[in-house]
Amino acid sequence: LNRSGIETIILERSSREHVLSRIRAGVLEWGTVEVLREAGVGARMEAEGFVHDGTWLSDADRLVHIDFHALTGKRVMIYGQTEVTHDLYEAQDALGTRIIHGVEEVTIHDLDGAQAAVDYTLNGTRHRLRCAYVAGCDGFHGVSRRTIPAGKRREFERVYPFGWLGILSKTPPVQDELIYASSPHGFALASMRNANLVRCYVQVPLTDRVEDWPDERFWAEFRRRLPAEAAARLVTGPAIEKSIAPLRSFVSEPLRWGRLFLVGDAAHIVPPTGAKGLNLAVSDVFYLHQALIDALKHGKEAGIDGYSQRALARIWQAMRFSWQMTTMLHRFDDEDSFAAQMRRAALDHLARSETARRELAENYVGLPF
C-alpha cells in the first residue's frame, strides 16, 4: 500500500524484539514467493531460502515422494516466517511507515461512517486514529473479529485432541526435503530452516507440557517415528527453542464489516499439517491490497465489496486440504483399527496414483490466487 502512495499506520501490541523472536512456520507457497518479490522484499529470501521440488510422506519404513515440480511445474520455498517478518520490518522502515509498538486496549468504532476510528492506549495515554479502512491483522485473540457483532458472525471450528511439540536445533536435516511421517506411535515432521538448523515436531497429547519433554526424550520419540533410513541419518543436539502448539481448524465469516476487514489468523486458523497458515494470510493480503488500491486511488469499490467472498473461497479449500492431511497422518486416541488401515490405504493410493499425487501437490504448492 505504501509503495502505491497509500499511507498506513501499524498498531502492534508487542515490542519489535518480541515479534522478531517468535518462531513460526517456514514453508512458502510459490504464490507467496511471488507476492513477496512483487512487494520488494524478496532479495534475502532468494539468497538464503531453500527451494524444494517436493516432499516425502511416510508410514513406518515406507517413503512416498511427492514431486511438486514434475507434477505441477511449481515448487515451494523454505524460508522462516521470522525472516519474512524481519524483511517486512526493514522495508516498512525504508518507506517511513509509522509502526507503533506497545499499544493496549484497542477498540474499533464508526465502521459504518465516513471514516473509521481506532482508539488505543500507549504509555497510559488514550489516542484515537481516524482512517479510511481498518485491516484487522491482529490474530485469533485480537479485537478485530470481536468487533463484528456476534449475531452477524458465523464461526466454524474443529479442535483436534493433540498438539505438536516442536524444537529448533542447530543440527543438519535428515533429508533434503521435508518428511511427514505417520507411525503407530503418532505423527512426526522433519523440517528445516537451513543446512544446519532444523525444526522438528512430534504429535503429543494436549495434556503434555514442554517440561515433560527433555531433549533426550524428544529425540528418542522423534527417531522411532521416522522411517529407518531417515532415522539412521539423524543427528541430535540441544534444543534452542521448544514449544507445544495445539491444532485447530477455525473460520469466521464474513471477513468484512463496514470499513473493517479481517486478515490472516483474525479470520481463520488451520492445522500446520498442510503448511497453509502464513500462506493463507498472504493470499488475504493479496486480495485486500488490490481492493484497497482500487477503492482509494481509483474510486472502484467492487474489490472491497467482493473481498470476503473471494478470500473465503480460497480459505475453505485450504481448510479442506489441511483437514485431509491432518486426518491422513495423525493417530487419534479413540480410533479403531479401521482408521489405521485407512491411513495406510491413503498412502498406498498416493504411491500408486499419479493423479492423487498431483492433487496433493497442487494444493501444497498453493492454489492460484
Cell of 359: 492433487
Of the residues 242, 276, 289, 330, only one is catalytic, namely 276
**Known active-site residue 180:** yes
Name, in order, each residue with C-beta under 8 angstroms of 122's C-beta and a sequence gap of 6 or more.
100, 102, 103, 104
**Known active-site residue 272:** yes
**Known active-site residue 364:** yes
Tell me, what amino acid is at 319? M
Cα first-last separation, the chain: 18
Number of Cβ within a 10 Å radius of residue 17: 8
Please name which of 274, 196, 208 lies closest in space to residue 240, comparing C-alpha atoms: 196
The answer to whether 14 and 89 have CB atoms below 8 angstroms apart is: no
**Known active-site residue 120:** no
Of the residues 120, 160, 201, 364, only one is catalytic, namely 364
Q: How far apart (Å, rounded) are the C-alpha atoms in residues 43 and 65?
A: 30
Of the residues 160, 180, 201, 307, only one is catalytic, namely 180
Counting Cα atoms < 13 Å in the Cβ hemisphere of 125 gives 3
Of the residues 120, 271, 272, 289, only one is catalytic, namely 272
The residue with cell 498472504 is 282
**In this structure, are strands 116-122 and 125-131 parallel, antiparallel, or unpaired?**
antiparallel
Q: How far apart (Å, rounded) are the C-alpha atoms in residues 247 and 270?
A: 8
Cell of 59: 508410514
**Known active-site residue 185:** no
- Residues designated as active site: 52, 180, 272, 276, 364
